[in-house]
Amino acid sequence: MKTIKGTGVALITPFLNDTSVDVMGLKSIVQHVINGGVDFLVPLGTTGESVTLLEEETHLVFQTVFEVNDGNLPMGCGGNDTHRVIAQMKSYDQKYAADAYLSVTPYYNKPSQEGLFTHFAKIADATHKSIILYNVPGRTGVNLLPNTVIRLATRFPNIIAIKEASGNIEQGVDILRRKPDHFSILSGDDTLVVPQLACGYEGVISVAANGKPQLFSQMVQAALSGNLKQANTIYYQLFPWMQLLFNEGNPVGIKCWMNMHNLANDTVREPLVKGSETLRGLFAELEA
């Protein structure tokens, strides 16, 4: 990859009212975030509702994004069956021009730290592409601990970063102080992003940047350049809005807000449901 720092966007996948992929809507969203100055895009992650997409829809989403933005394009590719993830990556290697894979920790089966190491070690061995680890215990039920992260990053040069979304800044700092030079740590928690960047995180893969890419990118760049006063001014402005985005789950909140601003349809795939009128009212009240 050219870079793995700054503002990355965990892209939503817009759907039409019949829940089919909204290709024109996706192109519009990609152009919206590019115009907002973001540094890289991440389609097909959890925010993109990838677990609900059929194989042909996965292809459609990535190719659509690639047509609009053909550089700095990691893509989500993870799961709780190591061999299936490897087979999927090998298939993607042949079909897609992704720069890297963002691979979430296995969910539901709750492997040990040794199991997590083995899972990612086999993935790293199976592809020539770069790997970004994704630790989000609130969704997966398992926490990729710093010792395991450092072990993986030290052993495998193509494991280049982690999206750290444990919500535990101490855990991130422990990785920062011991990581090899080639390895980056990225925030996966929008509401913690400026404190994490101040600690030494090198960027973020953001949900909120779908909606307000320009302001969010300005905040991240200010923090990375050491201008914490400017970064905090924007951060405090965005903070209550970012909290609301997750009131009814992700990507329900960001799709709801974007629909209110004519940026995307708010359709989600079941078992998710659209944002409630209560949530819409809270957004409207905040912006009044």
In a domain, 52, yes or no: yes
* Pairing status of strand 40-42 against strand 6-10: parallel
In a domain, 203, yes or no: yes
Q: How many domains in the chain?
A: 1
* CB of 130 closer than 8 Å to CB of 94: no
In a domain, 196, yes or no: yes
One of 96, 101, 129, 163 is an active-site residue; which one?
163
In a domain, 36, yes or no: yes
Distance, in Å, from the CA atom of 79 to the CA atom of 77, rounded to the nearest integer, reads: 7
In a domain, 14, yes or no: yes
CATH number of the structural domain spanning residue 100: 3.20.20.70
**Which amino acid is present at 152?**
L
Distance, in Å, from the CA atom of 207 to the CA atom of 251, rounded to the nearest integer, reads: 8
The answer to whether 90 is a known catalytic residue is: no
Distance, in Å, from the CA atom of 152 to the CA atom of 58, rounded to the nearest integer, reads: 28
In a domain, 224, yes or no: yes
Q: Which two tokens stand for residue 271?
A: 């078992």
One of 134, 201, 212, 255 is an active-site residue; which one?
134
Q: Which two tokens stand for residue 7?
A: 């503002």
The answer to whether 163 is a known catalytic residue is: yes
pLDDT by residue for the chain (288 residues), tens digit each?
556 899 999 999 999 999 999 999 999 999 999 999 999 999 999 999 999 999 899 999 999 999 998 777 888 999 999 999 999 999 888 887 788 999 999 999 999 999 999 999 999 999 989 999 999 999 999 999 999 999 999 999 999 999 999 999 999 999 999 999 999 999 999 999 999 999 999 999 999 999 999 999 999 999 999 999 999 999 999 999 999 999 999 999 999 999 999 999 999 999 999 999 999 999 999 999
In a domain, 120, yes or no: yes
Domain span at residue 215?
Answer: 6-228
